[in-house]
Amino acid sequence: MSATAKSVAKPLLLTNIGQLLTLKDITGRNEPRRGRELLELGIIENAAIFCREGKIAAVGSEVAIGARATQEIGSDLRVFDCRGGTVLPGFVDSHTHPVFVSPRLVDFEQRIQGSTYEQIANAGGGIRSSIERVRKASEDDLVSAVLRAFEDMERSGTTTIEAKSGYGLSLDSELKSLRSIREAAQQWPGTVISTFLGAHVIPPEFQQRADEYVDLVCEEMIPKVAKEKLADFVDVFCERGAFSIAQTERIFAAAQKARMGTRAHVCQFTPQDLSRLARFEPASYDHLDCLTDKDLQSLAQQRTIATLLPGASYFLAHSYAIARRLIDAGAAVALATDFNPGTSPTTSMPIVLSMACTQMRMTPAEAISAATINGAHALRLAKRKGSIEMGKEADLAVFDIRDYREICYWFGRETCRATVMNGHLAIH
């Protein structure tokens, strides 16, 4: 473990915040935000934040907080002038695939020339082409790749990341992938939640024997991952050409037995009957680009977060999720990058927020709630993360803008000037 990354943070005072988005809990029940609640950002003008031992110790007007912080700490205190900029909770990127070695440039060109995602996969490209390289890679190489992704995400304002395995698809290479996430997480001051995605696709050696691969996932991989405490969640790519609903049910049952949480990639290309997964109370359903009306209505009644990934729709030139209808129906919507080499090679949450606004007609306020507090709910971390409130972990993003809506407006222009991760300040 790196001493600097996980050491206790020194007291920190952020001053001269023009616009502070607290996202403070308005329900009083620590529930995900739905409908009009997504618009409530809890804005304080001319604010300051005082962080101590990695937590938010005080938040409020500049005058009150500044005086209190200097009184309590004296000369030990580090002061950071936000120069009238905007501060919000660090983004919670609740869906990423950072354990890969190289970009998939051939797939990229083939798709531009008209091949579909499924045609490329059937011809041996797609996820399978990443597998070979991950299997051959050393754990050190994977750690470097994952750490680089974390650092890139941090520069765009992300302070909590969910990271999945899923390009190894053998017991050894999945364990190697998860260990590389754990090692990179120890070298990075932010927070990482790890997910086992052994059920990403059927690996080549199990073609025509999908159920045997599911046996391996359920009977060997999940128990081993749980025993080594290498992941918090089990994920499944539940889709035509990947894993069926019946196979997903089996994998979720094995996860439940191992006392791990569940989440699933669903309805990206084809609709699925989500009612069959409801009994597992997954933490999130991700993608949802092809959702049936019945599933849309039932999501509004569930705790499961609807995590939308517009980066993948953009990169595949595919239809976007029906965010407006989901929000209006009362589903709890989150946004994430889906960072991966095949379908969404972006580490930038601001780009994703911009797409959510222009392509899915979410407002900037809805997009920010979805990328912070609802992302924290998608990872079951909302008691610790996702808003700026006393006692919560000090995860902040400082933007060089006067108005939070500029985050979604200046697409492609990175305006994040600094992040605070568990109380540690990183200036970009």
Residues that bind Zn ion (CB under 5 A): 338
Q: How far is the CB of 167 from Zn ion (least distance, A)?
A: 11
Looking at beta carbons only, is 95 or 179 nearer to Zn ion? 95
DSSP H helix total and E strand total for the chain: 17, 16
Q: How far is the CB of 166 from Zn ion (least distance, A)?
A: 8
Q: How far is the CB of 336 from Zn ion (least distance, A)?
A: 9
- Residue 56 belongs to what H/E stretch? strand 55-61
Looking at beta carbons only, is 374 or 415 nearer to Zn ion? 374
- Residue 135 belongs to what H/E stretch? helix 127-136
**Structure tokens given for 256:** 């439940």
Strand 12-21 to strand 86-89: parallel, antiparallel, or no bridges (unpaired)?
parallel
Is residue 341 a contact partner of residue 291, using CB atoms and an 8 Å limit? no
Looking at beta carbons only, is 338 or 395 nearer to Zn ion? 338
Looking at beta carbons only, is 82 or 264 nearer to Zn ion? 264
- Residue 120 belongs to what H/E stretch? helix 117-122
Looking at beta carbons only, is 203 or 311 nearer to Zn ion? 311
Looking at beta carbons only, is 37 or 338 nearer to Zn ion? 338
Distance from chain centroid for Cα 118: 25
Determine the Cα–Cα distance for residues 35 and 40; give it in Å rounded to an integer: 10
Q: How far is the CB of 339 from Zn ion (least distance, A)?
A: 9
Q: How far is the CB of 330 from Zn ion (least distance, A)?
A: 25
Determine the Cα–Cα distance for residues 360 and 321; give it in Å rounded to an integer: 7
Which residue is at the shortest CB distance from Zn ion?
338
Looking at beta carbons only, is 200 or 392 nearer to Zn ion? 200
Q: Which is nearest to 229 in space by CA: 266, 279, 175, 272?
A: 175
Q: How far is the CB of 132 from Zn ion (least distance, A)?
A: 19
Q: How far is the CB of 6 from Zn ion (least distance, A)?
A: 28
Who contacts 222 (Cβ-Cβ below 8 Å, separation ≥6)? 196, 198, 234, 251, 254, 255, 258, 260
